[in-house]
Structure 1
Amino acid sequence: MGYLKIFNGNIITPQGLIKDGTVVIRDGIIVEVGNGNPDISGAEAIDASGKYISPGFIDMHVHGGGGFDFMDNTIEAFLGVAQTHAAYGTTALMPTTLSCEKQDLLNTLSIYEIANSKNTMGASFVGLHIEGPYFNVKQKGAQDERYIRNPDPAEYKELVESAVFIKRWSAAPELKGALAFGSYLRSKNILPAIAHTDAIYEEVVQAYENGFTHATHFYSCMSGVSRRNAYRYAGVVESAYLIDEMTVEIIADGSHLPAPLLKLVYKIKGPGHTALITDAMRGASMPDGESILGSMHDGMKVVIEDGVAKLPDRSSFAGSVATADQLVRNMINLAQIPLMDAVRMATRTPAEILGIGKQKGSIQLGADADIVIFDHQINVEKTIIRGNLVYGKKRSHLLTHH
């Protein structure tokens, strides 16, 4: 591949902003970061024209986009979602499932493996996130009740043993058998996350001690303060605030959480413990109207309007249609936080939560050359994955549009 030089930009690094800087890439790896514009013979060069040179966005919870859903269980869908989100600055993502039959999950695992080897023009896959089916029915949200059940050791062990790329699993920790499930996942280097849960503080503390160190789509489908026989109990929301080391992820699409809650999460958890996620379904980057959440063959009908997907009766949100650039923009504009912190929440923090911080999530020597160039309004101009330009305003013919 040789050398690629990205120059004349403001580089966002863990140490701060390098103005008028250059990033030098060799064979997909960052080999130089600094001021000025060094002469490198034979290097391909990209002029950032004074814009930001940022680490690529990492979306650790995404279901679909561009008219595709990972639950379609086709290679075309996997690649379509990856290419759609790459156009908005996502360089790495975690394909996410919905509650379903075990056979559907086994199919998803086999498709993931094939699609991963063919994924050269889209956001790279950094492991599979299984969301469900071990949830509390009271907090099911848009998950299909037909499939919700308690943790089944025979089932989850079979799935985990059959695939090394399961990296995260979201479940309700108060269910029978959930603590043993969390400990088992940790022993296999898989991140257990708290989701679709009605747990109280005492249960969350136990869950945390058994490996559940992360909260899935914070605030959505989880308990807050509740009253039982006149006594008040702290829920998962308060627990995540109280347990300092617990990490959270938020859907900063402007609909799932209003500005005051975005500000509160930032104020209490901070940019180092908060990841931005799209939780996008197939309607991301698509026009408003009717759509399907989950797989084409047995998913749920939903309506996309007001910048979010809803159940047809409007009783609940049914996933977001956000893209990663929008999340960063919203944190700056709605939550009024500094650009550097907003970018960190979409890059370095998710990488650290997933344990891939050495390779991804920051512009530093030896890291993968996953880079996005954007302007002051976070409009993405170019997306580079492992040193390859996969999306560019001037080279958009590289993308296959559906």
Structure 2
Amino acid sequence: METGFLQIINGNVITPFEIRYNASVLIKDGCIEGIFGDNRSLPEVDTIDARGRYVSPGFIDLHVHGGGGHDFMDGDLEGFLEIARMHARHGTTAMVPTSLTSTREQLLELLKIYEKAKQANDRGAVFLGMHLEGPYFAMNQRGAQDPRYIRDPDPAEYEEILAHSHLIARWSAAPERKGALEFGRRLREKGVLAAMAHTDAVYEEVLAAIEAGYTLSTHLYSGMSGVTRRNAFRYAGVIESSLLLDALDVEIIADGIHLPAPLLKLIYKVKGPEKIALITDAMRGAGMPEGESMLGHKEGGLKVIIEDDVAKLPDRSSFAGSVATADRLVRTMLQKADVSLLEAVKMISQTPARIMGIDNKKGAIQEGMDADLLLFDSNITISMTMVEGKIIHRHNASGEINQ
């Protein structure tokens, strides 16, 4: 057999522009060598028969806390790896592990564990860098974030953390907090994506945030202000600002629960697939049965309950993260938001790759890109997950690969 080569045949290949039916993809040394409009297998090349299923770019999750009974806040190396493996079974080939509001010491320790996990991770979705969600949030919009740790940005604190900026992909904060604009500018200088989250900002504060470097709205509609009144006058909140301003990308928890169908349709109509990233925001309960669970650290976190396909605070006053997986996000957009498969896939591959600045190598099936590929049927049931040309999950191996 030709070493370094692998070919997927008999597939419906989802490219950035169209679905190429009955096509094949050639892979060499972990990268996409080419897409061909025929099913003929090349001689002396290992082949995978897609059997009429879709060949899709891998899903990229920009905001995920855990799954399979583990949370990144546990600070456990094996937990990191298990989360990556569990989500890979549902189509995630790259992810941004996400923290919760916590102490400076916990964040620094988490970065140490992340660095070890990134090196050890060979059977799951690749890690793209940490997402620090908090602790610089608005108390009124904290949701399930622990109020004990919410505070203003402190340069003495965040500079110590940013000394490890090569491990940090993004950081979410409320831009109206004292010092948050200076914080945003510092993130931009360090090459860390600044996002708005858990915020009570109004339109004018959002404009200032954009000028300071904030470019993304974290889980749109969740934990952020809408239209409000001040001295009888109406002000647009972060929700309206995010929909209106082209300078902002948005991420949405498309589990069909955090955002019902009308809101999914509205966001899609206003922002379009090029500005929307689908995220799971999954906590440890993803892939687990209903019942009691924990958000954040398994010992010192917040108790939650999983029911109705979502995590809630025990008093049911707020959602506490989702239990979604990436395949569910795509199904939701197809079934509830009336989005085409081509555009639903774009919102969980090409668009998040562009937001993270990695669209030169991930997020699309094109020549020269990483071979992060999926096979799934019309119900988005994942049968194979491939990361950089390596098969890390195969639901039914019988007859699929000829070697």
TM-score range, shorter chain: over 0.9
Q: Which runs of 5+ in 2 are unaligned?
A: 399-403
1:38 Cα deviation from its structure 2 partner: 4.4
Paired residue for 2:387, among 385, 388, 393? Answer: 385
SS in 2 for 1:11: strand
Distance 1:19 1:163 in 2: 43
Counterpart for residue 76 of structure 2: 74
Q: What does residue range 1-400 of structure 1 map to in structure 2 within 5 Å? A: 2-395=4-397
Shift of 1:127: 0.9
Which amino acid is 1:339 matched to?
L
TM-score, normalised by the number of residues in structure 1: 0.97
Query: How far apart are residue 244 of structure 1 and its match?
Result: 1.4
Q: Is the 8 A contact 1:329 1:377 kept in 2?
A: yes
| Deviation for aligned residue 1:19 | 1.0
C-alpha distance in 2 between matches for 1:132 and 1:181? 12
Shift of 1:319: 0.1
What SS does the aligned partner of 2:347 have?
helix
Determine helix, strand or coil for the equivalent of 1:279. Answer: coil
Measure the CA separation in 1 of the matches of 2:326 and 2:46.
27
Q: CA deviation at 1:238?
A: 0.7
C-alpha distance in 2, partners of 1:158/1:42? 54
Cα distance in 1 for partners of 2:189, 2:36 equals: 40
Amino acid at match of 2:214: F
Q: Distance in 1 between matches of 2:144 and 2:215?
A: 24
1:313 alignment partner, SS class: coil
2:41 & 2:374 partners in 1: Cα distance? Answer: 22
Give the aligned residue type for 1:357: D
| 2:115 partner SS | helix
Q: After superposition, give the CA deviation of every residue in 1:202-243 in whole Å (9 maximum; x if it has no partner).
A: 000010111111000000000000112221110001111121
Aligned-pair distance for 1:288?
Answer: 0.3
Distance of aligned partners of 1:275 and 1:196 in 2 relative to their CA distance in 1, 3 Å threshold = same
Distance 2:375 2:268 in 1: 25
Task: Give the whole-Å Cα distance in 2 for the aligned partners of 1:331 and 1:218.
Answer: 15
1:169-213 per-residue CA deviation (whole Å, 9 max, x = no partner) reads 000000010001001101111100000000000000010111111
Instruction: Pick which of 27-36 and 192-201 moved more.
Output: 27-36
CA RMSD of aligned residues (A): 1.1
Cα offset, 1:2, TM superposition:
1.2
Give the AA of the match of 1:289.
G
Residue 401 of structure 2 corresponds to none
1:37 Cα deviation from its structure 2 partner = 3.0
Q: Which residue of 2 aligns with 1:400?
A: none
Q: Deviations over 1:117-152 (max 9, x none)?
A: 111110000111000000010100000000000001
Deviation, structure 1 residue 32: 1.1
In 2, Cα distance between the equivalents of 1:345 and 1:170?
20
TM-score normalized by structure 2?
0.97
- List alignment gaps of at least 5 residues for structure 1: 397-402
Q: 2: CA distance between counterparts of 1:38 and 1:120? A: 31
Q: What's the CA shift string for 1:25-72, capped at 9, x where partnerless?
A: 111111111211344343221111111100000000000000000011
Say how many residue pairs are matched.
396
Moved more, 369-378 or 155-164: 155-164
**Alignment check: 8 A CA contact 1:109 1:163 kept:** no
Corresponding letter in the other structure for 2:39: N
2:7–2:41 Cα contact (<8 Å) kept = no
Is the Cα–Cα contact under 8 Å of residues 3 and 42 in structure 1 kept in the other structure?
A: no
Please name the residue that 1:399 is paired with.
Answer: none
Task: Look up the equivalent residue of 1:323 and give its one-letter code.
Answer: T
Instruction: State the secondary structure of the residue aligned to 1:280.
Output: coil
- Cα deviation 1:335-374 (Å, max 9, x = unaligned): 0111111110010000000000011000011111000111
Q: Deviations over 1:278-310 (max 9, x none)?
A: 000000000000000001121110000000000
**More off after superposition, 31-40 vs 384-393:** 31-40
Between the aligned residues of both structures, percent identity stands at: 58
CA contact (8 A) 1:5 1:24 kept: yes
* In 1: Cα distance, 2:59 partner to 2:12 partner: 17
Q: Secondary structure at the match of 1:248?
A: strand
- Retained in 2: the 8 A contact 1:245–1:273? no
Paired residues of 1:96 and 1:129 also in contact (CA < 8 A): yes
Structure 1 counterpart SS, 2:298: coil
Between 316-325 and 2-11, the greater mean CA deviation after superposition: 2-11
